[in-house]
A and B are shown apart, each in its own frame.
Chain A
C-alpha cells in the first residue's frame, strides 16, 4: 500500500541554522513527490515537487529537496532558516491510475524556530 512517513513530529532549530526534514515513501511505481507548507490559519502552499529528471529540486522560499530512489526518500532542506519558516510541513506522493488524482500525505512535521 502507498504510504508516506515523516519520522519527526516536531523539530526546533535556531534562526540561521540549517534544516532538514525527512520524508520516506512507499509506492510501487515512479513517485511524484511534493512538499507543502501549512502556516497557522493558512491553507497548504506548495513548496516544490518532483516528477523526473534532476533529483535535486529547487522550490520557493529557498527550499530544496533531493529525491533518492535507493532510500525511498525525499528530504526537504534549507541552508538558513528564518523565523517566518515556522509552520507545519507535509510530504506527499501523487497516486496514479484510474480516476484517482489524489495525494497521500504524511502526518506532517511541525517546525519551531528559536530566535
Chain B
C-alpha cells in the first residue's frame, strides 16, 4: 500500500516568511510524528499526535512552530517568520498505535531552505 507522503519535497523561502509543510500518513495509522534533521545531525523530535489525545509538543523549538492534524489523517507543520536556522529536512512518520514498540514509517521528507 501507499507509504507516508510529504509535500512539497523542496521548499525555498525568504527569511521572515511563513511556510506550511504537509504530511499524509499511512491509512489507519493513529500516530503521527514530526522530526527535524539538520545537516550532519540526527533526527530531533518535534511533535507527536496519537488519536484524539492532546498532542505532545515537547520537542517544538519555539512558538514559531506549530502543527495540526485533522482526525487521523493529514497533518501540517507551520513555521512562522522563518529563520535561517530553520533550514533542515523535516520528516514525518506514522505508526499504527503510537506505542514505543511501534515501528515508525517515515516519509521522504521536505527539504526547507531559508535564505
A positions within 8 Å CB-CB of B? 4, 32, 34, 36, 41-46, 49, 51, 90, 92, 94-96, 98-108
Contacts and interface: CB of A to CB of B under 8 A. Distances in A.
A44 B101 contact: no
B2 to A, nearest CB: 13
Tell me the interface secondary structure of chain B in the complex. loop
A52 B42 CA distance: 25
B105 to A, nearest CB: 8
Contacts of B48: 99-102
B95 interface: yes
Interface of B: 3-4, 31, 33, 35, 40-45, 48, 50, 53-56, 58-59, 91, 93, 95, 98-109
Contacts, number: 74
A101 B94 CA distance: 11
A33 B43 CA distance: 15
A43 B50 CA distance: 21
Contact of A32 (B4, B54, B101): B101
Given A41-B108, A43-B91, A43-B109, A102 B103 contact: no
A42 B41 CA distance: 16
16 contacts: A32-B100, A32-B101, A43-B91, A43-B106, A44-B43, A49-B103, A94-B100, A94-B102, A99-B50, A99-B54, A100-B48, A100-B58, A102-B33, A102-B45, A102-B56, A103-B104
